[in-house]
């Protein structure tokens, strides 16, 4: 569908759900196949999940399998895939070597010519201990980013985030204030936290910012023992879930109307109403006064 100016008024999103394992070549093959299915289903913009090329918890194993960006075969393959299909291809993230002992959890937005339009290194590291002994220390293997990023698509600006970023709303407000109409949150959310919070947090980020939220997800039991939630999801700017997948690998489609962003932001213009403020905390009472009061 095109507008009177000749630009696309709507576009189709294809979210690639995966279950990446410990063999990069196999993960790349799966991703390329599913990207092809997304293209065949009419997708203009295709997004893959966090850790598209590799899901492995062992730091030593990770560091033996990854490469620097200019030597990474998966990135080269995905650039060619975008060019072949003539699509905007958003690789949710790849494990990319940035130092001898560290990787980056890095997203890539690739244009239809195969050129890299934007990169983003995940800012917030997933260092948590969950109920039942499930534990993660992402900061031991990955170097955190410190710069937010966006890419300009033909339909509007895309804010780029990854997984655990979802829990830090200030990042999303900053992206929305910088003009993002769409927010990408590709993820490998744990099953435990996903069951509790996935839909609620995705809807919250959409509602707070009057933006579309689009999240391709890893799902199911992985070779390294982790279990991810899946449920790739698209939420509209009013907070309605318009598409949701399951835990099996596959493609989830949604048709996006960019005009709805302006409509919702006009209805509730909270982005224009934000104000800077300071937080005050109670002044500590002198110890001798506290002691006197307790004796009465």
**Candidate list 122, 138, 191, 244, residue with the active-site label:** 122
**Candidate list 50, 55, 138, 191, residue with the active-site label:** 50
* Token pair in block for residue 199: 């839909």
| Burial of residue 287, with CB atoms counted within 10 A of its CB: 0-12 exposed, 13-18 middle, 19 or more buried | exposed
Three-state DSSP string of the chain: CECCCCCECCEEEEEEEECCCCCHHHHHHHHHHHHHHHHHCCCCEEECCCCCCCCCCCHHHHHHHCCCHHHCHHHHHHHHHHHHHCCEEEEEEEEEEEECCEEEEEEEEECCCCCEEEEEECCCCCEEECCCCCEEEHHHHECCCCCCEEEEECCEEEEECCHHHHHCHHHHHHHHHCCEEEEECCECCEHHHHHHHHHHHHHHHHHHHCCEEEECEEEEECCCCCEEECCCEEECCCCCEEEECCCCCEEEEEEECCHHHHHHHHHCCHHHHCCCCCCCCCCCCCHHHHHHHHHC
**Candidate list 39, 55, 138, 163, residue with the active-site label:** 163
From the list 207, 212, 164, 210, the residue with the least C-alpha distance to 184 is 212
Whether 122 is catalytic: yes
Q: How far is CA 177 from the centre of its chain?
A: 18
Instruction: Please identify every residue annotated as catalytic.
Output: 50, 122, 163
């Amino acid at each position: 569908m095109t507008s009177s100016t000749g630009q696309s008024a709507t576009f189709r999103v294809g979210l690639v759900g995966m279950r990446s394992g410990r063999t990069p070549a196999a993960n790349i093959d799966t991703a390329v196949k599913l990207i092809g299915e997304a293209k065949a289903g009419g997708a203009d913009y295709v997004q893959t999940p966090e850790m598209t090329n590799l899901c492995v918890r062992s730091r030593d194993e990770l560091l033996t399998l990854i490469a620097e960006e200019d030597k990474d075969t998966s990135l080269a393959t995905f650039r060619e895939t975008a060019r072949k299909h003539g699509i905007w291809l958003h690789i949710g993230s790849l494990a990319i070597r940035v130092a001898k002992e560290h990787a980056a959890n890095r997203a890539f937005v690739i244009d239809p010519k195969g050129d890299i339009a934007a990169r983003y290194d995940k800012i917030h590291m997933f260092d948590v201990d969950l109920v039942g002994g499930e534990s993660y220390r992402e900061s031991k293997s990955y170097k955190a980013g410190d710069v937010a990023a966006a890419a300009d698509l033909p339909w509007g600006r895309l804010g780029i985030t990854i997984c655990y970023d979802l829990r830090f709303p200030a990042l999303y407000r900053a992206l929305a204030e910088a003009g993002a109409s769409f927010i990408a949150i590709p993820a490998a959310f744990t099953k435990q936290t996903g069951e509790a919070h996935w839909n609620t947090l995705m809807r919250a980020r959409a509602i707070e910012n009057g933006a579309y939220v689009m999240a391709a997800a890893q799902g199911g039991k992985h070779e390294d023992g982790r279990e991810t939630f899946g449920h790739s999801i698209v939420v509209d700017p009013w907070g309605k879930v318009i598409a949701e997948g399951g835990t099996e690998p596959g493609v989830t489609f949604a048709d996006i109307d960019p005009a709805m962003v302006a409509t919702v932001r006009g209805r509730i213009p909270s982005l224009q109403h934000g104000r800077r403020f300071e937080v005050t905390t109670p002044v500590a009472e002198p110890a001798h006064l506290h002691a006197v009061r307790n004796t009465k």
